[in-house]
Amino acid sequence: MRIKTLTVSVLVAASFAHAQSADEFFEKKIRPVLVTKCQGCHNAKLKTAGLDLSTAAGFAAGGPSGSLLGGAESRLLKVISYEFELKMPPMGKLPAEDLQNLAAWVKVGAPWPGAPKDLPVPVMAESKPREWSAEQKSFWAFQPVKAIAPPQVRNAAWVQSPVDRFILEKLEAKAMQPAAPASREALIRRATFDLTGLPPTADEVRSFLSDDSAGAFATVVDRLLASPRYGERWGRHWLDVARYADSTGNDEDHRYPYAWRYRDYVIDAFNSDLPFNQFVREQLAGDLLPSSDGGVNRRGIIATGFLSLGPKALAQQDKQKMLYDVYDEQVDVTSRAFLGVTLACARCHDHKFDPLSTKDYYAMTGVFASTKSFANSKSSGVSPMLLTPLCDDSEYRTSQTYKRWLAAKQRSINEVYDRRIDERNSELGKRLADWMVAARQVYVDGKPVERVAAREKLDVRVLRRWVDYLEAGAAGRPHLEAWANANTKTARAVAVDYQTKYLEKLAAYDKKIAEWRDRATKTEAAMKSAPGKPSVEAEEEPFFTDVTFGGPFAVADARKRENDVVNVDKDKERQRKLEEKMRREREMTVPREELLTDADRDRLRTLRAELDEMRKGAPPEPEMADAVAEGAQVEQHVFVRGDYNSPGEVAPKSVPSILTKAGSPQFGQGSGRLELAEWTARADNPLTARVFVNRVWEWHFVDGLVRTPDNFGRMGERPTHPELLDWLAAEFVQHGWSVKQLHRTIMLSSAYQMSSAVTEQASQKDPENRLLSHFTRRRLEVEEIRDGLLAADGTIDYEMGGSLQKGFGTDGENSEGRLSLNPEKLSRRTVYIPLRRANLPTLLNLFDFGDATTVNGKRVITTVAPQALFAMNSEFVVERARNLAARALENGGLDDGGRLDSIYLRTLSRPATAVEKDTALTYINHYRQKFAGKSESEAWQSFCRALLGSNEFIYVD
């Protein structure tokens, strides 16, 4: 950079001198560039990046990062050079001539014609809060929830719940009729899938069908709400919103080893009917809330997984970008999940449609910028994620102390070997030239390696390693060029040269290691972790590192080698090559064990015994969570155009100004998460309760009252029943934010219990069923399909909680370990199957699961041929059908009709009709007649497969 700029300056100083005057040079060469390429954004009005390049004063003032001048180090020249992180102008590098002129101009002090000598430096003033228009302020979603009395209706007999009045009023206004009540079979299947994600059992169906009491359905609803299966279903709904997954997704897809604790927390929150406002508080700031027993708030810490489990790019090398992408993701999930506003759209510019400014965006970003999401976000490479212990500090410190002791003991063990290895390197190094010359005799002169070794009194294994190392030549290894160019006459001299240099490096290395040993012993004595063993930069000392580590002088840990997995290749030729390679390696291996003396061996025995003893006495590993924690306070600036290289005015922590009618939080000393949580959970927050009751409505009815559940803004839809939405929100808050109570209010209505039959009138007048003249039929979601199949043949495993994902970090590129576990090989409920975000299970993709990356309040349902292939050909379905048929056939107490009833009850939640029985048995008979050799069981299996593939199985009326 410097060199280039200087040359350029010299070149154009001449042209500058030749110009008639500095003024003319400016007007002809500089101003046109500034006007056409810079001032579009950097003018007095926009001041993009806090920079005004339209006047001499503005230019002299520079930007928030300081002056633009400074000779060859000028920020202006850096930025326009395109060799700096920030590149301007953004539409393309300036032509070489312009660059030269600007450099020449800066070099002489950037004179502006007629500018006064001493320019005052203006101070950036904080801009006034944005004024929103009356229309924006009066937008429906930002108004307080209104207290509304359910309306009067003509057909009062239809009303079972106040909910029905709101629905019926709109239908009556359009002269439409609500559908008849659903059949009891349809209703229990609907409610059971709805609340638990599973079909009802045969007993549950029979018991409901025979219960004539007025409260029969209420009994069913209460039973389902009390089932642990309820939390697994509704927790999963929330996990869609929380974009839950068990790994980071981006770049290397590192596991979140404790994500499952958050998932279990969510399931438990629904099962225990945790008030929703508390659910909100815990997910944003649970770590800052007191625990119920005064100890560590485990639950609260785990709950903040909501913020910590998003997609992250741990290997992103621009660490500042990595951090701000995470904060952005946290702003996005928080604003959409709880508030239904798309605040993240205001990262680079004010929101195009809603009254949300970039300042609003950065005001919330400040909260997350002051929150810790990484254990360390500074060092290059892969940034380690934050893991939080779920125990108190002293317990954690004790366990860490033990860890250090164990590490120190392990180091002592390693040292026994390493000292001998170091000694050996010195010994071998003294004859390095002999080794090289001897190797040359083998690979150049073609002499047998054993004979050369014997004659020169060299270890044949080491000599083989030398041959292996030198034989490959210098291609791509410039440090071996001198050796490769040597001939028989010069070889000895060149080798001696290599030896001298090697011994120099070795001495330096030994010194470094000795210093490290000293330091490590001291730090361990002081109960601290020893520093890592110093490494040699392979790029600086390629020959030394090659020879010493991994190359000719390397030794092997025999115990490790024994554990090497022997691969067997199907291809004979490849297998032969593999074995040949392994044989060669054995011939070259020097086990490190043979360097030990008897005293060493004794010492190792003692040390290993001590290590074992210590391990036995160590406290259990503390339980951990993937959570966030309080971080250092960050004074957040607005980033102009979303670019952290262009900080603008300060954006003090705040919530979006359009939502502050009922008050805005006073942010104190911490990150601000607690204040944000309290404000979000307030009863008078216009959005929190509305957005959540709308979600619940949608999960019951397929469509929400607002059909864009994650976006209540201008580009979202308007509510079909705004009064009902407000009434439900108010009821919800009044009943202590109880989600289970909300389910009862909704499900014990006539609206919920309507048939899904569509009349011609309804299909004409209201094809989208916005007025809810009937229940909307829906396809099962993938969890319901898979769990329903496993329930049908009775192989489902209802064990709750815990993790099926093992291990930490990530796996090798393209290894199987990068895949999610295959749900078709497991029998736990789908909600418990870990989600590797980068490679979600294909079954989940096939049935519209979504991508677990952003808030997904509504799954888009598609109907495509590969789904039919799953029903027709997957082993998973074949196995379910086999079990289903076997169960029916093995039941000796049943006749064929009874068998069919049991199969229908298990799959379609109803007995078979007479016609269906007739059809089925005819099919089974024909199947056996048509396909000779097929057993009775195979015929029944075929029928069961057809049933499992049927629309009736996969749709809920």
Q: Which positions from 3 through 42 interact with other proteins, judged by CB under 8 A?
A: 3-4
C-alpha to C-alpha distance for 262 and 229, rounded to whole angstroms: 17
Residue number with CB closer to other proteins (324 or 732): 324
List the x/- string, 215-254, binding to other proteins by CB under 8 A.
----------------------------------xxxxx-
Region binding other proteins by CB under 8 A among candidate stretches 358-366, 486-494, 587-595, 833-841: 833-841
Exactly one of 757, 800, 821, 921 binds other proteins (CB under 8 A); which one? 757
Residues in region 563-622 near other proteins by CB under 8 A: 574
Q: Which is nearer to other proteins, 171 or 912 (CB)?
A: 912
| CA 826, 827, 830, 831 torsion-angle sign | negative
**Cβ pair 141, 713 in contact under 8 A:** yes
Site of tokens 């020169």: 456
Residue 9: other Cβ atoms inside 10 A = 19
Q: Do residues 3 and 98 lie in contact, with contact meaning Cβ atoms separated by under 8 Å? A: no
Q: Which is nearer to other proteins, 231 or 310 (CB)?
A: 310
Q: Does 903 bind other proteins (CB under 8 A)?
A: no
Residue ranges in 925-954 that form contacts with other proteins under rule CB under 8 A: 926-927, 930-931, 942-943, 945-947, 949-952, 954
772 is an interface residue for other proteins by CB under 8 A: no
In the chain, what is the straight-line distance between the N-terminal and C-terminal CA atoms, in Å? 70
The region that residue 488 occupies, defined by phi over 0 for left and psi between -120 and 50 for alpha, beta otherwise, is alpha
Minimum CB separation from other proteins for residue 563, in Å?
22
Our finding on whether 955 is near other proteins (CB under 8 A) is: yes
User: CB of 774 within 8 A of CB of 703?
Assistant: no
- Residues of this chain, 272-331, that bind other proteins according to CB under 8 A: 311, 313, 315-318, 321, 325
Place of tokens 């292996």: 468
Under the binding rule (CB under 8 A), the answer on residue 139 touching other proteins is: no
CA-closest candidate to residue 310, choices 843, 755, 851: 851
Helix (H, G, I), strand (E, B) or coil at 649: strand
The whole-angstrom separation of Cα 933 and Cα 914 is 29
Q: Which is nearer to other proteins, 223 or 479 (CB)?
A: 479
**CA 749 to CA 110: how far, in whole Å?**
76
Work out how close the CB of 536 gets to other proteins at its nearest, in angstroms, rounded to a whole number.
Answer: 12
Q: Which is nearer to other proteins, 124 or 946 (CB)?
A: 946
Are the C-beta atoms of 199 and 192 separated by less than 8 Å?
Answer: yes
> What is the distance between the alpha carbons of residues 606 and 611, in angstroms, rounded to a whole number?
9
> Which C-beta is closer to other proteins: that of 77 or that of 303?
77
CB of 608 to other proteins, least distance (A): 36
Nearer to other proteins, 370 or 907 (CB): 907
Task: Cis check for the bond before 719: say yes or no (omega within 30 of 0).
Answer: no
Cβ 47 to other proteins, closest distance in Å? 21
Nearer to other proteins, 326 or 747 (CB): 326
Q: Is 156 in the site for other proteins (CB under 8 A)?
A: no
Residues 529-568 binding other proteins (CB under 8 A) are: 537-539, 542
Q: Which stretch binds other proteins (CB under 8 A): 119-127, 216-224, 443-451, 710-718?
A: 710-718
Residue 779 lies near other proteins (rule: CB under 8 A) = yes
Question: What part of residues 365-394 is at the interface with other proteins (CB under 8 A)?
Answer: 380-381
CB of 781 to other proteins, least distance (A): 12
Q: Work out how close the CB of 618 gets to other proteins at its nearest, in angstroms, rounded to a whole number.
A: 35
Largest pairwise CA distance in the chain: 114
Does position 756 bind other proteins by CB under 8 A?
Answer: yes
Is residue 710 involved in binding other proteins (CB under 8 A)? yes
C-beta of 345 vs 390, nearer to other proteins: 345
Cβ atoms of residues 593 and 558 within 8 Å: yes
Q: Is 311 left (phi over 0), alpha (psi -120 to 50) or beta?
A: beta
Please say which residue, 664 or 883, places its beta carbon nearer to other proteins.
883
Structure tokens at 811: 């796996």
Alpha helices in 620-769 (DSSP H): 673-680, 688-701, 722-734, 739-747, 760-765
- Judged by CB under 8 A, the stretch of 294-302, 424-432, 718-726, 753-761 that binds other proteins is 753-761
Q: Is 497 an interacting residue with respect to other proteins (CB under 8 A)? A: no
Establish if 874 lies at the interface with other proteins (CB under 8 A): yes
Judged by CB, which is closer to other proteins: 653, or 690?
690
Q: Residue with structure tokens 């005001």?
A: 363
Determine if 706 is a binding residue for other proteins (CB under 8 A): no
Q: Which of 288, 705 has the CB closer to other proteins?
A: 705
CB 131 within 8 A of CB 137: no
Query: Judged by CB, which is closer to other proteins: 474, or 629?
Result: 474
Measured in residues, the chain has a length of 957
Our CB check for other proteins shows the closer of 121 and 472 to be: 472
Please give the torsion angle defined by the CA atoms of residues 299, 304, 310 and 315, in that order, rounded to the nearest 10 degrees.
-100
Site for other proteins in 845-864 (CB under 8 A): 845-848, 851, 853-855, 860-864
Burial zone of 427 (CB within 10 Å; 0-12 exposed, 13-18 middle, 19+ buried): exposed
- How far apart are the C-alpha atoms of 185 and 604, rounded to whole Å? 73
- Beta-bridge partners for 703: none
Q: How far is the CB of 323 from other proteins (least distance, A)?
A: 12
682 binds other proteins (CB under 8 A): no
CB 447, min distance to other proteins, A: 27
Residue 892 Cβ vs other proteins, minimum distance, rounded to whole Å:
26
Would you count residue 199 as binding other proteins (CB under 8 A)? no
Told to check if 360 binds other proteins by CB under 8 A, we report no
Tokens matching residue 898? 């009874």
Nearer to other proteins, 292 or 764 (CB): 764
Least distance from other proteins to the Cβ atom of residue 819, Å: 6
Note whether 477 binds other proteins by CB under 8 A: yes
DSSP 444-466: TT---HHHHHHHHT--HHHHHHH
Q: What number of chain residues touch other proteins (CB under 8 A)?
A: 113
Nearer to other proteins, 173 or 538 (CB): 538
SS3 breakdown of the chain: % helix, strand, coil, rounded to 5? 55, 5, 40
Distances (CA, A) of 750 to 159, 209, 553: 6, 18, 83
Residue 765 near residue 176, CB atoms below 8 Å: yes
Angle between helices 936-949 and 896-908 (to 10 degrees): 30
Residue 429 or 850 having the CB closest to other proteins:
850
Burial class (CB in 10 A: 0-12, 13-18, 19+), 522: exposed
Structure tokens at 709: 């559940």
* Binding residues for other proteins restricted to 87-126, rule: CB under 8 A: 92-93
Task: Determine the Cα–Cα distance for residues 863 and 870; give it in Å rounded to an integer.
Answer: 12
Does residue 807 belong to the site contacting other proteins (CB under 8 A)?
A: no
| Residue 794 interacts with other proteins (CB under 8 A): yes or no | no
Closest CA to 342 of 722, 860, 848, 854: 854
Chain positions 446 to 465 lying near other proteins, rule: CB under 8 A, are: none
Give whichever of 798 and 931 is closer to other proteins, judged by the CB atom: 931
The CA-atom distances, in angstroms, between 131 and each of 23, 157, 664, 685 are 43, 50, 16, 20
Which listed residue (529, 734, 763, 925) binds other proteins by CB under 8 A?
763
- 813 is an interface residue for other proteins by CB under 8 A: yes
**Nearest distance in Å: CB 93, other proteins:** 6
Distance of alpha carbon 467 from alpha carbon 673, whole angstroms: 64
